[in-house]
Amino acid sequence: MSFAHPNEQIGILLRGVVDVVEREELLARLTRSADRNEPLTVMAGFDPSAPDLHLGHTVLLRKMRQFQELGHKVIFLIGDFTATVGDPSGHDGLHRQRPSLTSDQVEQFSRTYLQQVSRILDPGNTRVEHNSSWLKDLPLSNLLSLASHIPVKRLASWHEPQTYDHLCVDRFLYPLLQAYDSIHLKVDIQIGGQDQVQNLLVVRELMAAAGQEPQCVLVTQLLEGTDATLCEGKFVGRKMSKTFDNTIGITESPEKIQSKVLALNDALIWRYFELLTDCSMPEISAFKMDVEAGKRSMQSVKEYLAQDLIRMYHS
Amino acid sequence: MSFAHPNEQIGILLRGVVDVVEREELLARLTRSADRNEPLTVMAGFDPSAPDLHLGHTVLLRKMRQFQELGHKVIFLIGDFTATVGDPSGHDGLHRQRPSLTSDQVEQFSRTYLQQVSRILDPGNTRVEHNSSWLKDLPLSNLLSLASHIPVKRLASWHEPQTYDHLCVDRFLYPLLQAYDSIHLKVDIQIGGQDQVQNLLVVRELMAAAGQEPQCVLVTQLLEGTDATLCEGKFVGRKMSKTFDNTIGITESPEKIQSKVLALNDALIWRYFELLTDCSMPEISAFKMDVEAGKRSMQSVKEYLAQDLIRMYHS
């Protein structure tokens, strides 16, 4: 196969992306990939403790699919290692204060996850990895080496004083473990949500410290939940999350999806179109102008969005 | 063999000790040991990067010997693991920013160390351990479990703002590794200098978190260097350390030891007697009273001290 022109790829890949670190590096990688006719390695990590996918998750998964469609290699990384740390069957009677999952639970969650993910990603072209396979045997000396590159002060500055007061040292190790994932997998591009940006910048530095070319980072938008509204041109509301009970699950019934979409605040619709569907940006603009000009009802556009989502996840 | 009465043991063991955590626990352990006729496991850790022993080191080593003489098991722990972390032969091209030692260097230093130590400890009764033997294969999950018990804030509070600004995450892992040493060796009593107290308190907590009885901690005095003086009843001066070039090495020639002792500030002499010799406390008091009453010259007492030290390390 041959790859599309890097500028054409960039056009597709930057839709719904709030930040790229660094854009020039991304272009350089895509150019090199096209020149050598070699795919890039693109990775995103997922927490196995939340196996029911909702539309918020699909923003990132759809970005992965775009990379697949452009011919790149996509790794779906299940972060099972930290989820199972402190399994009470461990050595020395050590135990975690926070609840954690057993290996069996993680295995079961991973299966559910992958079943749902296969509605978005091309399963035959998706490499699934569990980070326990390299982290459980990671020599301590490697971790100490990584740790010696990251100032404590920097990690501390990410936290509000109230949170910081209760923070334990393990939390300062997670960014290092994430870095090791990328080092181990020799990742070219990692995709993450806005809540991951600080971690992913540390990962870049540690890859450089390990003598690797630092991965590019694509930061996708967080999708607003169904309870979001627009106030003075800005969205007011929280991200879509089970915690806030404002999700649309991809395994929910067509009727449920339809009714939830119809109840959305009008202003959210264009954003949902951009982040969740294959409608081109010109098509979305045309819809919007039609509604503003009174040529189309908002109701009909919402129905169109609902049908599009139902078709994607129920066919 | 049978053990001396716990109170008698305490009398010997607390000489030159500035703090015990906790004194009641220490008494309880000694009592249990005597009742069951089982020795206690006593440990002290040593950095393999400073192999030339001076009198400052002997304060702690002599305390270990006292435990040996009382029938307990003594472990001389060589902290070779952290000294060799970041060996450039490691994986992934990762390297430490600080200089570190090769395994060969550590091995050579350890030999020199043990040769010198055998002038103080009973070599046949001293168990020598290298912490690399358990730390190099310590599963990461165990480290994360330990880390989840220690607040970042607490470790941060140990450092002055200027130091804190440059501190990297690896420094927050060292107390956890120390804890793992004690957990692995099932230590009853650890002996350390005053600069180790904060670390050793963390070790106690982590042993408890791991379901073990926390070790007792005996904190020995830091010996003032040869340049210390007395000012308004307080010692002014730094601890004996190679860095400050104020040491008396145990392998120095008898002439050198003699001249350095004779040049000491008078006020230091009683402290050196207490911490460095087998003279009983009543004997030392008698010397002091004799000098104050003009019955003995300070010079002759210094000569006595010098001869005592020379006899200990050159016979």
What are the tens digits of pLDDT across the range B140-158? 888 888 888 888 888 888 8
Contact B86/A149, CB-based, under 8 Å? no
Q: Give the residue from B208, B203, B228, B207 showing the smallest Cα distance to B218.
A: B203
Cα–Cα distance for residue pair B189/B33, rounded to 1 Å:
12
The helix or strand, by DSSP H or E, that contains position B20, with its residue range, turns out to be strand B17-21
> Do A145 and B210 count as a contact with CB atoms less than 8 A apart?
no
Structure tokens of A172?
Answer: 């300062």
| Backbone dihedral region for residue A55 (phi beyond 0: left; psi -120 to 50: alpha; all else: beta) | alpha
**pLDDT for B264-284, tens place per residue?**
999 899 999 999 999 999 999
| Among the ranges given (A131-145, A242-256, B168-182, B231-245), the one the predictor scored with the smallest mean pLDDT | B231-245
- The whole-number pLDDT of residue B100 equals 66
CB contact under 8 A, A169 and B148: yes
Strands (DSSP E) contained in A146-301 are 189-193, 216-220, 229-231, 234-236
B85·A144 Cβ contact <8 A = yes
Q: How far is CA A41 from CA A71, A180, B56, in A?
A: 10, 15, 57
> Which of A167-176, A247-256, B209-218 shows the lowest per-residue confidence on average (mean pLDDT)?
A167-176
- pLDDT higher than threshold 90 for residue A152: no
Does B160 or B290 have the greater pLDDT score?
B290
Query: Does B310 score more than 60 pLDDT?
Result: yes
| pLDDT for A84 | 67
The DSSP H or E segment spanning B235 is strand B234-236
Looking at CA atoms only, how far is residue B202 from chain A in angstroms?
Answer: 12
Ranges assigned E (strand) in chain A: 17-21, 41-46, 73-78, 126-130, 189-193, 216-220, 229-231, 234-236
Is 90 exceeded by the pLDDT of residue B172?
A: no
Q: Quick one: residue B266, left, alpha or beta (phi over 0 = left, psi -120 to 50 = alpha)?
A: alpha
Pair B265, B228: CB distance under 8 Å:
yes
What six digits make up the tokens of A15?
């839709």
pLDDT digit string, tens, across residues B47-89? 877 667 899 999 999 999 999 999 999 999 998 887 766 433 3
Structural tokens at position A233: 């041109």
| pLDDT, position B89 | 33
Least confident of A40-54, A135-149, B83-97, B301-315: B83-97
> For residue B182, what is the nearest residue in chain A, using CA coordinates?
A92
Does the beta carbon of B205 lie under 8 angstroms from any beta carbon of chain A?
no
Backbone angles phi, psi at A191, to 5 degrees: -105, 135
In this prediction, residues B145-174 reach a mean pLDDT of 84
Window A:129-188, CB contacts with B under 8 Å: 135-153, 155-156, 164-173, 176-177, 183
Per residue in A185-244, pLDDT (tens digit) is: 999 999 998 888 889 999 999 999 889 999 999 999 889 999 988 777 777 778 898 888
Q: Which amino acid is at B290?
A: D
Say if residues B13 and B67 touch (Cβ distance below 8 Å). Answer: yes
How does strand A234-236 pair with strand B189-193? unpaired
* Contacts with B1 (C-beta within 8 Å, 6 or more apart), sequence order: B37, B71
Asked if B66 has any chain A CB less than 8 Å from its own CB, the reply is: no
- Name the helix (H) or strand (E) containing B144: helix B140-147
Of B136, B144, B211, the CB nearest to A139: B136
d(CA A314, CA A277): 14
A chain contacts of residue B168, beta-carbon cutoff 8 Å = 147-152
Q: Do A172 and B169 touch (CB under 8 A)?
A: yes
pLDDT value at B219 more than 80 = yes
Q: Collect all residues of chain B within an 8 Å Cβ-Cβ radius of residue A97.
A: 148-149
What DSSP designation does B296 have? Answer: S
What is the chain A residue with the closest CA to B175? A169
Nearest-Cα distance to chain B for A65, in Å, is 30
pLDDT interval class at A50 (50, 70, 90): low
Give Cα B236 distance to the centre of its chain: 22
Is B99's Cβ below 8 Å from some Cβ in A? no
Write out the two tokens for A277. 């569907």
The chain-wide mean pLDDT, for chain A, equals 87
- Point out the residue among A153, A155, A169 whose CB comes nearest to the CB of B165: A153
Please report residues of B whose CB lies closer than 8 A to that of A166. Answer: 151
Cα B305 from Cα B278, distance rounded (Å): 11
Residues of A whose CB is below 8 A from B176 = 169
Distance from C-alpha of B120 to C-alpha of B170, rounded to nearest angstrom:
34
Residue A141 has which token pair? 């000396």
Q: Is A137 exposed, middle or buried (0-12, 13-18, 19+ CB in 10 A)?
A: exposed
For B88, the closest chain A residue by CA position comes to A145
Burial letters for B176-196: b for 16+ Cβ neighbours within 10 Å, e otherwise? Answer: bbbbbbbbbbebbbbbbbeeb
pTM for the whole structure? 0.80
- Closest CA relative to residue A214, chosen from A186, A255, A233: A186
A22: its two tokens: 């660094």
Tokens of B184: 């692995």
Chain B nearest-CA distance from A112, in A, is 25
Contacts of A92 (CB under 8 A, 6+ apart): B142, B183, B210, B211, B212
For B163, the token pair is: 């130091």
Contact B86, B94 (CB under 8 A): yes
State the average pLDDT for chain B: 87
Q: Is the pLDDT confidence value at B112 over 90?
A: no
CB contact under 8 A, A142 and B210: no
What average pLDDT does the segment B156-162 reach?
82
Chain A partners within 8 Å of B211 (Cβ): 92-94
Peptide bond into A22 cis (omega under 30): yes
CB < 8 Å to A143, chain B: 140, 143, 173
The ipTM (two decimal places) reads 0.74
Q: With an 8 Å Cβ cutoff, are A170 and B147 in contact? A: yes
pLDDT of residue A107: 81
